[in-house]
Structure 1
Amino acid sequence: MPTFRRSLFAAICFIAFIFLIRSSRPAEVPGAPGYQPVQEIFSEEQDRLLHPKKKSKARQQQTLSYGTAPLRERLRYQFPYDLRSRFPAYIWQTWKYAPSSIWFGDSLRAAEASWTELHPGFTHEVISDDTQRHLIQYLYGSLPDVFEAYDALPLAVMKADFFRYLVLLARGGIYSDIDTIALKPAPYWLPDELDRSKVGFVVGIEADPDRPDWHEWYSRRIQFCQWTIVSKPGHPILRDMVAYITEETLRMKRAGILKVGKMDKTVMEFTGPGAWTDAIFRYFNNPEYFHILPGEKNITYEDFSGQTTHRKMGDAVVLPITSFSPGVGQMGAEDIDHPMAFVKHNFDGMVTLSPE
């Protein structure tokens, strides 16, 4: 019996020692040019993952009032962000029909197959329209207002936009449009010297129109790509985007204007690249995630115009226009054989702007 007690006491001491060592280790959040990292940015979420039985007073209060908490807080709670985790090996795509259907167009098969061929260790899912609604209902069952917003969107293109943010927030991985061709495996999209445990989000530049009439062709002077996105689950940019679309959708629904021809926002500014680009810039200029020193200017399009290689901003990496838009023949984009060319967009699978 004394031997058992001594063994039990030694085990308890060892566990307590490990607990103290791990809990004293600071969360690593990468910095960015002109910024000082906020070390405690994800500390509560990281602490919850390391010590699942431990609950702070704020967490206890949030649990008690979960149903009435602000949407962004409920999304944070439901899909915590763990920067130090691996990028999930998922590839998400959507189309009207599954690849097994005879209605899946032959023109899309080579593009769809390129993702499977270059990513043999990944789970590659093409979610059909019939399945998409059920998947969102499953993933967001505890957030009924999010599913209500998704279900209420009047255009297929809006639902396709919303789906990519929703599935990446909940599960992470890669989202890419069905008409994109993978040119290089995703593990090679970031340089070897870049620590993946300090990167949680990867996005490419879609447009960099250095011309006086740029606003006639694009919604923003620098426009970020949304046809291919890489993220770890729970990233704050996706959380912000999901909350924004949900809130705007339900606002218009209650006002009776969530109908084709009556909405007070265009697709571009509601679910598309304009709104997406704004969400990314909000993150880069958010004092919750970066210490912005007095007198420093905001991050703007000027910080990315003319970019030709990777640019790291905090835990996000911005790729140049060549990476996801090679071969377009403008705005500085190189051809598909360039070392920085990773994904080619054929623009064959565009969702039509028509009611479902």
Structure 2
Amino acid sequence: MPTLRKAVFAVICLVAFVFLIRSTRPATDIPGVPGYKPVQDIFAEEQELLLNPKKKAKSRQQQLFGPALTAPLRDRLRYQFPYKLEPHFPAYIWQTWKYAPSSSRFDRDLREVEATWTEMNPYFTHQVIGDDTQRHLIEYLYGSMPDVFEAYDSLPLAVMKADFFRYLVLLARGGVYSDIDTRALKPAHYWLPEELDRSTIGFMVGIEADPDRPDWHDWYSRRIQFCQWTIVSKPGHPILRDMVAYITEETLRMKRAGILKVGKMDKTIMEFTGPGAWTDAVFRYFNDPNYFNIVPGEKNVTYEDFSGQTTHRKVGDVVVLPITSFSPGVGQMNAGDTDHPMAFVKHNFDGTWKTDPSL
């Protein structure tokens, strides 16, 4: 009997040791980056309210969502599109263009690259949303948040609406967004290595620019610039929520001030809906104490953590891809060619947004 007790005790100790090791293992491979907080724990109260709708006490749900527009926008977005980390990435591919592929007016030069997304991802739902459909889809997805729809509808340039649309549709539905002038080089399910647990990843973003030159600010908006022509996300991700709230608030601010017009806005496209604002949103997330255990005085996550990156890098629930992944063949900033193992998407840089007649 003593031998049996010792064996049981040894097994219990072993299990406890393994659990301790697993629970203290860092969730990031960037030295010095603070530990990641599971997002579900942050929203435990909201989840409890959803599971117990008959709770009689005046709840936070009642406080936030009694009068539909009295709660802060970010809280309403979080409630409407809750973020769940464990489920699979939705098998959607979203693209936008002036016309749907079924239209005779769809550009012939785009048909071949657009088709690569379906060919490479036959089990995905691939949608190219035409201009005439985008507005109706956003109105449907954000019907309970008229301020978001008002912001989208008020943007004066098609390129701004195209930028905003990608954040809006990914926040609501998740999946892959990629510009219409991109070519899929590898199926989306190959973009993450097999050893990475998908249930711990909710977002993928690629590096667009890593210019190691003193005049980098003459060419790019940020020293490290994240690309937004291809984005992968699970629905409700906090980065997207932050971006949608930022664009909505800035749009309505300028509208109320009477400056939401071409030539009068106090923000450039880059700093309003484009890569500059997008890069800032990603870094805000990496340095947000709501999502990471940040010790006072600890070094922030900065461009230095990603400069020269050549492979996947995981920060919390985000995987950052090197410049080769979404910008192969650019011939600079150490980007590999299109046949590189890390090359996933080829952007043709057609500048299709420059054909916007309102510019």
Q: TM-score, normalised by structure 2?
A: 0.88
Matched, 1:31 2:58: no
Partner residue, 2:192: 190
- What is the CA-CA distance between 1:351 and the residue it aligns to? 0.8
User: Which residue identity is paired with 1:281?
Assistant: F
SS in 1 for 2:353: coil
Question: d(CA) in 1 for partners of 2:251 and 2:320?
Answer: 29
Aligned partner (choices 228, 231, 235) of residue 229 of structure 1: 231
Question: d(CA) in 1 for partners of 2:149 and 2:26?
Answer: 33
Gaps of 5+ in 1: 1-26
Aligned partner (choices 66, 77, 94) of residue 79 of structure 2: 77
Partner residue, 1:337: 339
Matched, 1:355 2:358: yes
- What is the CA-CA distance between 1:29 and the residue it aligns to? 12
Q: 1:132 to 1:52 in 2, by over 3 A?
A: farther
Question: d(CA) in 2 for partners of 1:41 and 1:184?
Answer: 35
- What is the CA-CA distance between 1:54 and the residue it aligns to? 6.5
Partner residue, 1:21: none
Question: d(CA) in 2 for partners of 1:306 and 1:332?
Answer: 8
- What is the CA-CA distance between 1:62 and the residue it aligns to? 1.8
Question: d(CA) in 2 for partners of 1:234 and 1:100?
Answer: 30
Question: d(CA) in 2 for partners of 1:126 and 1:48?
Answer: 37
Question: d(CA) in 2 for partners of 1:292 and 1:124?
Answer: 39
The CA deviation string for residues 33-92 of structure 1, in whole angstroms up to 9 with x for no partner, is: 43123242343455466x364668212322324321000001001110011111100000
Question: d(CA) in 2 for partners of 1:29 and 1:347?
Answer: 41
Partner residue, 2:316: 314
Aligned residues: CA RMSD: 1.9
User: Which residue identity is paired with 1:292?
Assistant: I
Question: d(CA) in 2 for partners of 1:28 and 1:79?
Answer: 30
- What is the CA-CA distance between 1:106 and the residue it aligns to? 1.1
Question: d(CA) in 2 for partners of 1:29 and 1:128?
Answer: 46
Question: d(CA) in 2 for partners of 1:206 and 1:238?
Answer: 18
Aligned partner (choices 163, 171, 175) of residue 173 of structure 2: 171
Partner residue, 1:98: 100
User: Which residue identity is paired with 1:250?
Assistant: L
| Kept in 2: contact 1:325–1:333 (CA 8 A) | yes
Question: d(CA) in 2 for partners of 1:29 and 1:47?
Answer: 28
| Kept in 1: contact 2:207–2:224 (CA 8 A) | yes
| Kept in 2: contact 1:95–1:129 (CA 8 A) | yes
Matched, 1:299 2:301: yes
User: Which residue identity is paired with 1:164?
Assistant: R
User: Which residue identity is paired with 1:197?
Assistant: S
Question: d(CA) in 1 for partners of 2:25 and 2:279?
Answer: 22
| Kept in 1: contact 2:46–2:61 (CA 8 A) | no
Partner residue, 1:20: none
Question: d(CA) in 1 for partners of 2:74 and 2:26?
Answer: 23
Aligned partner (choices 236, 246, 249) of residue 248 of structure 2: 246
Aligned partner (choices 319, 328, 331) of residue 330 of structure 2: 328
| Kept in 1: contact 2:202–2:237 (CA 8 A) | yes
User: Which residue identity is paired with 1:88?
Assistant: P
The CA deviation string for residues 114-158 of structure 1, in whole angstroms up to 9 with x for no partner, is: 000011111000000000111111101100000000000001100
| Kept in 1: contact 2:230–2:326 (CA 8 A) | yes
Q: Which moved more, 1:292-301 or 1:32-41?
A: 32-41
User: Which residue identity is paired with 1:263?
Assistant: M
| Kept in 1: contact 2:65–2:71 (CA 8 A) | no
Q: Which moved more, 1:196-205 or 1:40-49?
A: 40-49
Aligned length: 329
4+ residue runs of structure 1 moved beyond 6 angstroms? 27-30
Aligned partner (choices 119, 122, 131) of residue 120 of structure 1: 122
Q: 1:29 to 1:38 in 2, by over 3 A?
A: farther
Partner residue, 1:59: 61
Question: d(CA) in 2 for partners of 1:349 and 1:314?
Answer: 33
The CA deviation string for residues 278-334 of structure 1, in whole angstroms up to 9 with x for no partner, is: 000000000010011133111000000000000101000000000000000000100
Q: 1:339 to 1:163 in 2, by over 3 A?
A: same
| Kept in 1: contact 2:148–2:248 (CA 8 A) | yes
User: Which residue identity is paired with 1:233?
Assistant: P
